[in-house]
Amino acid sequence: MECQMPETHLATVAHLLRRAGFGAGRTEVELYAAKPYEEIVEDLLSPEKAPEYDSDLISRHLMGTVTGDSYPQIQAAWIYRMINTPRPLEERMTLFWHHIFATGYTKSEDALVCAKQIDMFRSICLSDMKTILISLSKDPNMTFWLDNSENHKDSPNENYGREIMELFSMGIGNYTEEDIKNAARAFTGWTFSQNIPLYPFGSYSPAFEFRQDDHDYGEKHFLGEVGDFDGDDIVDIIVRQPATAKFISRHLYNFFVEDEAQVPAWSIQEPRNPEAIETLSKTFRDTGGNIREVLRVLLNSDFFKEARFKKIKSPVDFVVGTVKITGTHTIPEPDLVNLAAATSLMGQTLMDPPTVESWHTGPEWIDSGTLTDRINFAVEQIGDIESAGIKDLINRIKSKGDEISPPDFVNNCLELLGHMEVDDKTKQGLMEFAEKVGGLKFTTSDQEQESLENIKQMLQMSVSSPEYQFA
């Protein structure tokens, strides 16, 4: 049945699902849009109300996720989850924390340890900042990545003590070298039960371990406070800092709203929207760093609703969002590994960011090579007119009548692809094609066949446009 909802509401919901999830096909957009916008936001913020993800299904089809001997399968399993999760914001926030708290398979060489860290992010992704940073500080993958397993009371290693402030909470310029040294002392003894490298033990699950005899119990000076601090105390002090509220708020704005400058420039470059950052920061401060509450303000804000197509899609967004349109990969198929490989070719290898700074975003996602990979991927996926999602789009267009004018042909395709907004040059190119083929006709079987091919080409032209690179 043809949906009678206002297209403005559908467009807003499509935007919400692109940013608070990984996009959606038209039918899924309509299912969400049956509720008022604010109620949709509340549903997204309450993933516990949605059915739990069937992890057994993927483990039966991709055994490498159980044995740990296939890093590509573990990546593929996460991609599958992004496509099919009934809890899209939960998965989105899992990716968010993975982006900020960068750790790489290249060092650990243990795919299961990487996967367990992602599971940890998922379990705490909407909680409060103290819970998140404590969980991070006890995570074996992070402990190994930033050498806290080498942080001893008699020979402190400052790597984690530095990065928990510089990269994970406050940003450059908000702490001193003394703060770094004392943070490192506070985290001495925080390690794990076994070493992570595969050899000679193979895959296993190391656990957090606090070694009392290796902890520095001396007095510490940290961010203006003095005491016998341990890691919990350090995190508590960090979360109370105004710099933390601003830093995390800016990360959320960059991830959900609009591309910001790269993180290393934040100490010298003001946010694009200082008022929005202050609004989010205030909520962070007022709620003790409650991430769910900050997101509630963000997703309901005008600055979020008005930020359509102002973010360049990450490779993961691009791949998963395109697949969501086609309606494929709804069961765990072997070629899921190809989707994970596609994101890598485009510059985003899941569970293996390039540096401790993670991935650079925005325009840095795209160069001549990755743009070609993006376009080729989208054209191939959208060109499969036998896929469930594309069949649905075609049927919706056919339901408009036996003859569809060139302008309606163009507008219907853009609308069904998520209410794409294109500039005059792109619109002119699409119109020229629509006028050349004379719109669409479905009166005879020959006309229908020709029209199906023209719809396919129009959809492929649309996803080849510069505008499709934006969310």
Where exactly are the structural domains of the chain? 127-240, 388-469
The answer for residues whose C-beta is within 8 angstroms of residue 131's C-beta and 6 or more apart is 124
Residue 6 CB-density burial (10 A; 0-12 exposed, 13-18 middle, 19+ buried): exposed
CA 331 distance to own-chain centroid: 21
The answer for residues whose C-beta is within 8 angstroms of residue 115's C-beta and 6 or more apart is 65, 68, 74, 77, 78, 351
Predicted confidence at residue 70, as pLDDT, reads 81
Could you tell me which residues are beta bridge partners of residue 225? 222
- 205-210, Cβ contacts within 8 angstroms, sequence gap of 24 or more: 205/112, 205/113, 205/116, 206/113, 206/140, 207/140, 208/138, 208/139, 208/140, 208/143
Q: Is the bond preceding 353 in cis, omega lying within 30 degrees of 0?
A: no
Predicted confidence at residue 1, as pLDDT, reads 42
Q: Which helix (H) or strand (E) holds 411?
A: helix 406-416
Strands 403-404 vs 225-227: parallel, antiparallel or unpaired? unpaired
C-alpha 318/C-alpha 321 separation (Å) is 5
Q: Could you give the residue ranges of the DSSP H alpha helices within 219-357? A: 231-239, 242-256, 274-286, 291-300, 302-305, 315-326, 336-345
Instruction: Render each residue's pLDDT in the chain as its tens digit; 471 residues.
Output: 445 688 999 999 999 999 999 999 999 999 999 999 999 999 999 999 999 877 777 777 676 666 666 888 999 999 999 999 999 999 999 999 999 999 999 898 888 899 999 999 999 999 999 999 999 999 999 999 999 999 999 999 999 999 999 999 999 999 999 999 999 999 999 999 875 555 665 556 789 999 999 999 999 999 999 999 999 999 999 999 999 999 999 999 999 999 999 999 999 999 999 999 999 999 999 999 999 999 999 999 999 999 999 999 999 999 999 999 999 999 888 889 999 999 999 999 999 999 999 999 999 999 999 999 999 999 999 999 999 999 999 999 999 999 999 999 999 999 999 999 999 999 999 999 999 999 999 999 999 999 999 999 999 999 999 999 999
